[in-house]
Amino acid sequence: MTGIPLGRRASTVTIKRPEEIALMRRAGGILASILEVLEAELRPGVRTGDLDQIAERMIRDAGATPSFKGYGSNPPFPGSICASINDEVVHGIPSSRRVVADGDIVSIDIGCIVDGWHADCARTFPVGTVADELQQLIDATRRGMEAGIAAAMPGNRLGDIGHAIETVAHRYGYGVVRPFVGHGIGTSMHEEPQVPNYGRPGTGLRIEPGMCFAIEPMFNLGGDEVGVLDDGWTVVTQDGSPSAHFENTIAIGAAGPELLTDR
């Protein structure tokens, strides 16, 4: 789930201990396993509410707690996953009335807590046969995430991450969603700092070992602009163009970033 920029706030970026990162790694492994199952279930005719039920059961069976369910107050998010279809960017509410169709792209975002420590993870999947331009959007958004993670080296700065991500989007002429951002993560899903998907190289917070971030670009086939639907959650592109979203939780090690949302 993305963070929402709230302007300037007191910056308290925490450094995690190895045993704390180990709990986040366990949470991340659970999420990666569940996403593999959801990908296999994601066929034309499936309902996003069914995927949510599978995800919640798997999180609880693993001894973890869903972090999205009940999150926020606009109103509290009702699902354990976000399921965002086509022009929905992020924070789509899973529903038994929402049926996935051949040719759709579906972004699944999922988070859980193990012994008080969070992980947060998202992938965009094609359903059945999708248009080439949609597959290219998915692949580029994944590469944008990978470029952002590669830039998360100790001694680099947050602006290096954002710059690496938006450079990939600009190569394809894609819109980059700016009002929603990546974030620090630990004992809360959303911690300082905000990690925008744009930035100037060499600017912003210096990255240090023990910091943990959720890196999560959202690229649009059309323009940058987005809005929020009346349900208070679902973010959609203003021009109706499709959007993709990838997210991994990482821990900064002395030698570079470690993927925590991995099996």
Residue 87 touches Mg ion, criterion: CB under 5 A: no
Tokens matching residue 167:
């450079």
Q: What is the per-residue burial (b if ≥16 Cβ within 10 Å, else e) of 34-53?
A: bbeebeeebeeebbbbbbbe
CB of 214 to Mg ion, least distance (A): 4
| Under 8 Å between Cβ of 136 and 187 | no
| Residue 21: CB atoms within 10 Å | 20
CB of 215 to Mg ion, least distance (A): 9
CB of 36 to Mg ion, least distance (A): 19
CB of 3 to Mg ion, least distance (A): 6
68 or 174: whose CB is closer to Mg ion?
A: 68
CA 43 to chain centre: 22
Q: Which stretch binds Mg ion (CB under 5 A): 25-33, 59-67, 209-217, 232-240?
A: 209-217
Beta bridge partners of 219: 176, 244
CB of 247 to Mg ion, least distance (A): 5
Residue 214 touches Mg ion, criterion: CB under 5 A: yes
Q: Which stretch binds Mg ion (CB under 5 A): 53-61, 118-126, 193-201, 221-229?
A: 118-126
120 or 192: whose CB is closer to Mg ion?
A: 120
1 or 35: whose CB is closer to Mg ion?
A: 1
174 or 246: whose CB is closer to Mg ion?
A: 246
Nearest Cα neighbor of 184 from 145, 159, 228, 216 is: 216
Tokens matching residue 10:
């007191």
Nearest Cα neighbor of 35 from 231, 253, 249 is: 249
Choose which of 20, 120, 166, 191 interacts with Mg ion (CB under 5 A): 120
Tokens matching residue 169:
């989007």
CB of 4 to Mg ion, least distance (A): 11
Q: Give the C-alpha separation, 80 to 67, whole Å.
A: 7
Q: Give the C-alpha separation, 198 to 72, whole Å.
A: 25
1 or 161: whose CB is closer to Mg ion?
A: 1
Q: Where are the beta strands (DSSP E) in 142-190?
A: 175-176, 182-184
Residue 127 touches Mg ion, criterion: CB under 5 A: no
Q: Give the C-alpha separation, 86 to 88, whole Å.
A: 5
Number of residues that bind Mg ion (CB under 5 A): 3
Binding site for Mg ion (CB under 5 A): 1, 120, 214
